[in-house]
Amino acid sequence: MDNTETQSTVERIKQQIEENAILLYMKGSPKLPSCGFSAQASQALMSCGEPFAYVDILQNPDIRAELPKYANWPTFPQLWVDGELVGGCDIIIEMFQQNELQPLIKEVAEKNKQED
């Protein structure tokens, strides 16, 4: 793979993160997750009651390869909120259980509804 391909993948990642206030990089989809961690993470997000975007990294091997380097986070799923990496499954579940995820997701969703 030459550098231009790598560059365009990183550009795509940046664009996805910019365009989607709530974005989950996961294995599979929220309705058909392909791993337990992605299932738990998307379940917690869905429980917050706001729409969110997701990217199935199994369908996007280039993103799967590049995102850990870009994010400096080795594993999936990865939750990005408002352009910031929140973290992986453990962090998502912990925040959800401590009622920290719900207000964060609601606040960002509200903010972005107003911007449209």
Instruction: Give the per-residue pLDDT at 104.
Output: 97
pLDDT at residue 113 in the model: 86
CA-nearest of 61, 72, 70 to 27 is 61
Residue 116 lies in a domain: no
pLDDT tens digits for 27-70?
999 999 999 999 999 999 999 999 999 999 999 999 999 999 99
- CATH number reported for the structural domain that contains residue 93 in this entry: 3.40.30.10
Indicate whether 110 belongs to any domain: no
CB 2 within 8 A of CB 19: no
The answer as to whether 44 is a domain residue is: yes
Query: Was 69 annotated as part of a binding site?
Result: no
The answer to whether residue 39 sits within a structural domain is: yes
Is residue 48 annotated as involved in ligand binding? no
Domain range for residue 87? 3-105
Is 62 annotated as belonging to a binding site? no
Model pLDDT for residues 8-33, shown as the tens digit of each residue: 999 999 999 999 999 999 999 999 99
Mapping DSSP onto H, E and C, the string for 71-96 reads HCCCCCCEEEECCEEEECHHHHHHHH
d(CA 38, CA 25): 9
* In-domain check, residue 22: yes
The residue type found at 76 is: F
Is 84 domain-assigned?
yes
Residue 55 placed within a domain: yes
Q: How many folded domains does the chain comprise?
A: 1
Residue 31 annotated as lining a ligand binding site: no
How many whole angstroms separate alpha carbon 79 and alpha carbon 72?
13
Query: 3-state SS string over 44-74?
Result: HHHHCCCCCEEEECCCCHHHHHHHHHHHCCC
